Amino acid sequence: MDLPKTPSFRLDGRRALVTGASRGIGLGAAVALAEAGAEVTFAARGADQLDAAVAAARVAGLKAQALALDVTDHDAVEAAFDATGPYHVVVNAAGMARHAPALKTTAEDYDAVMGLNLRAAYFLSQRAAEGMRGLGGGSIIHISSQMGHVGGIDRAVYAASKHGVEGMAKSMAIEWGPLGIRVNTICPTFIRTPLTEATFADPERVAWITSKIKLGRTGEVEDVMGAVVYLASDASSLVTGSALLIDGGWTAG
């Protein structure tokens, strides 16, 4: 009997770009891909943190390089891909939140969140796909959120941006599937990162969060890293247009 063979989770010989890679989930994603054998470009706006992250990765024996990039600057993204692309894997982890009651949302906050979380994600995907087409395919992964599937207190704008990412990813997956390009999202619950420090500093909010998570704990960056490798690798070769929920059961009901 010939036994089935588990597809490889290795990424040797592949090039990856991770945005928002200087800290939090983005840093975890970049490290995870590099540990799986990929040559990873860490991209972020803050040069100091970015350089420190890349230096630490290189000390650990990983293939890493830094790219200072503001993904909301469309021309800069175009120039970056022209200079460094194409990539087999692109992980969009750049994101922001400006939480407030819906009645108090300002136009400035709305535009800032939508500009980074949705508009920048859209055109980053477009440019990534153009390069992947020449490679015969690739994997685009967006770090979305459980809030792309439910609503939340003081999170109308953030949830709207992530619901948009979910619809965008499904539509792009349909269009680009024939090109061998897979587009998926990872949807974490509340993960302890610099982005969520204010939330975790509020005891009432923490109590509400933990009451929603069926596994009884909030997340760590490490909880997301395996999912990134899975969606980047051949192990997920038939997965596209999907949302991988890492939410401890929050959206189960």
How far lies 245's CA from each of 145, 186, 252, in Å? Answer: 8, 6, 10
In DSSP notation, 155-166 reads -HHHHHHHHHHH
| Domain assignments of the chain as residue spans, ordered by start | 15-246
Kindly list the averaged pLDDT for each block of 10 residues, start to end, along the chain of length 253.
97 98 98 98 95 98 98 98 97 96 97 98 98 98 98 95 98 98 98 85 89 94 98 98 98 92
Model pTM greater than 0.75?
Answer: yes
Alpha carbon 199 to chain centroid, angstroms: 20
CATH code, residues 15-246: 3.40.50.720
Q: Active-site residue numbers?
A: 158
State which amino acid sits at residue 211: S
> What is the Cα–Cα distance from 249 to 253, expressed in whole angstroms?
8
Instruction: List beta partners, residue 244.
Output: 186
pLDDT computed for residue 118 by the predictor: 98
pLDDT computed for residue 205 by the predictor: 86
pLDDT computed for residue 196 by the predictor: 84
pLDDT computed for residue 197 by the predictor: 82
